[in-house]
């Protein structure tokens, strides 16, 4: 009897299992169906379906599909960041400064954000076209593609927006006779020109043969901006114990950024008053032979015409060398450079936000 019952139960279990619906594979959001056949040609950069004349492509490799896809998108981004390294000046004016206890975002920061938004929009056009699993190694490959024509259209639209904003500023710069008002227009126009340069660089990545997009007289606007900015006179004054190295580094940094800065009691539009002090700092390691020097400074910036102090800030640095004298010299130079960069940003923000 037992021998009859056991086979019967097994038969019932088999029938029950057969009647259960098969489980469906769970789809991974954003995943692409992965091929597992022979090595495709696109893995070696020879994909006929996505010719380089029409697409930018990036290939990512990883132990899982999601990471391979992310890396392939990163390769597209890398194409832009590598080829436009020399066009990072658009970010030099971006900053938040404290004016009368309030954080003020400069006009140039708005331009930078707009350029970044366009760049992001371009990269969002990147699609994962193919993925492949190499069974021999267990590695996933992913192919990201960006349609050149679609990306060019996005950039071209933003260039048109910038030109629309730049034309009245360029006209105002030519017509304005009052010095500081002229500088104000020049600062805003300069921010737009830098944003334009960045977008033009992105356009050349997409199409190396692309020239400068016609809009308005960019070269003429650039010359007018430079002439207006060099007319701005900045005086640097360090009352009390004067550090010649701090002054020299500060003035040199400002001059490098296109600002006419001098020291002493000279006629100026902007007065930069700075006090600095330095002290030797012991090394935390008693066995170390390094000598350290810490420098700190307080800076106030005044509009001479209105006697308004529009920005004040503090800066610090800490430098090391083999002797106390060398450490002090490095600290003085570095502090002057830091102050110069912040003064330049503060001047830009002040005029842009008037």
User: pLDDT tens digits for 324-343?
Assistant: 999 999 999 999 999 999 99
Neighbour tally for 88: CB within 10 Å: 12
In the three-class reduction of DSSP (H, G, I as helix; E, B as strand; rest coil), residue 261 is classed as strand
Query: Which pLDDT does position 311 carry in this prediction?
Result: 92
Neighbour tally for 135: CB within 10 Å: 9
| Statement: residue 180 has pLDDT above 90 | no
Report the predicted TM-score, pTM, of the whole model to 2 decimal places.
Answer: 0.66
For residue 210, the number of C-alpha atoms closer than 13 Å in the C-beta half-sphere is: 19
| Statement: residue 215 has pLDDT above 90 | no
Virtual CA dihedral for 170, 176, 181, 183, nearest 10 degrees?
A: 50
Homologous superfamily of the 233-281+288-352 domain (CATH): Lipoprotein like domain (3.30.160.150)
In the three-class reduction of DSSP (H, G, I as helix; E, B as strand; rest coil), residue 2 is classed as helix
Greatest mean pLDDT among 3-12, 73-82, 96-105, 286-295: 286-295
Tell me the Ramachandran region of residue 216: left when phi exceeds 0, alpha when psi lies from -120 to 50, beta otherwise: beta
Compute the average pLDDT of residues 222-249: 86
Cα four-point dihedral sign 67, 68, 70, 75: positive
Tokens of 17: 């299992």
Domain limits of the chain?
Answer: 149-230, 233-281+288-352
Backbone angles phi, psi at 61, to 5 degrees: -130, 135
What is the spatial distance between Cα 273 and Cα 164, in angstroms, rounded to a whole number?
A: 39
pLDDT classification of 213: cutoffs 50, 70, 90: confident
In the three-class reduction of DSSP (H, G, I as helix; E, B as strand; rest coil), residue 82 is classed as helix
Instruction: Identify the bridge partners of residue 314 per DSSP, sorted by sequence position.
Output: 298
Of 299, 289, 281, whose CA–CA distance to 335 is shortest? 299
What is the spatial distance between Cα 352 and Cα 109, in angstroms, rounded to a whole number?
A: 10
Distant-in-sequence, close-in-space partners of 78: CB < 8 Å, separation ≥ 6: 58
The strand pair at 127-134 and 139-147 is best described as: antiparallel
User: Measured between alpha carbons, how far is residue 222 from residues 207, 214, 218, 339 in Å?
Assistant: 24, 15, 6, 27
pLDDT classification of 61: cutoffs 50, 70, 90: very high
319 near 291, Cβ under 8 Å?
Answer: no
Backbone angles phi, psi at 341, to 5 degrees: -65, -40
User: pLDDT tens digits for 13-46?
Assistant: 444 444 444 333 333 334 456 777 789 999 988 8
| Statement: residue 109 has pLDDT above 80 | no
Virtual CA dihedral for 320, 329, 297, 254, nearest 10 degrees?
A: -120
Cα four-point dihedral sign 294, 91, 340, 332: positive
Neighbour tally for 332: CB within 10 Å: 23
Which residue's structure tokens are 């034309």?
167
What's the order of all strands across the beta sheet hosting 139-147?
Answer: 55-62, 139-147, 127-134
Greatest mean pLDDT among 6-20, 61-75, 212-226: 61-75
What is the spatial distance between Cα 340 and Cα 256, in angstroms, rounded to a whole number?
A: 10
């Amino acid at each position: 009897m037992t021998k009859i019952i056991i086979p019967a139960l097994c038969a019932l279990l088999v029938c029950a299992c057969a009647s259960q619906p098969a489980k469906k594979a769970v789809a991974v959001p954003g995943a692409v169906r992965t091929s597992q056949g022979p090595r495709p040609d696109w893995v070696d950069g020879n994909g006929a379906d996505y010719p380089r004349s029409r697409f930018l492509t990036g290939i990512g490799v990883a132990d899982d599909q999601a990471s391979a896809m992310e890396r392939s998108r990163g390769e597209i981004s890398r194409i832009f960041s590598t080829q436009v390294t020399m066009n990072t000046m658009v970010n030099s004016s971006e900053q938040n400064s404290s004016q009368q206890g309030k954080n003020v975002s400069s006009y140039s920061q708005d331009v930078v954000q707009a350029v970044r938004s366009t760049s992001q929009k371009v990269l969002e056009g990147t699609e994962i076209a193919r993925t492949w699993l190499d069974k021999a190694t267990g590695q996933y490959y992913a192919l990201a593609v960006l349609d050149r024509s679609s990306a060019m259209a996005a950039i071209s639209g933003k260039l048109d927006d910038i030109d629309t904003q730049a034309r009245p500023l360029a006209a105002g710069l030519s017509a304005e006779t009052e010095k500081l008002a002229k500088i104000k227009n020049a600062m805003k126009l300069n921010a737009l020109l830098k944003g334009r340069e960045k977008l033009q660089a992105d356009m050349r990545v997409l199409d190396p043969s692309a020239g400068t997009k016609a809009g308005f007289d960019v070269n003429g606007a650039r010359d007018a901006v430079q002439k207006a900015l060099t007319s701005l006179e900045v005086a640097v004054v360090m009352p009390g114990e004067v550090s010649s190295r701090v002054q020299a580094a500060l003035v040199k940094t400002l001059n490098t950024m296109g600002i006419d800065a001098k020291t002493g009691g000279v006629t100026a539009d902007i007065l930069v008053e700075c006090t600095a002090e330095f002290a030797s700092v012991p090394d935390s390691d008693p066995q170390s032979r390094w000598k350290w020097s810490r420098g700190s400074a307080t800076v106030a910036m005044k509009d001479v015409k209105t006697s308004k102090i529009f920005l004040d800030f503090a800066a610090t640095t800490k430098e090391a060398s083999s002797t106390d004298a060398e450490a002090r010299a490095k600290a003085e130079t570095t502090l002057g450079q830091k102050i110069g960069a912040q003064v330049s940003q503060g001047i830009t923000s002040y005029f842009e936000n008037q």
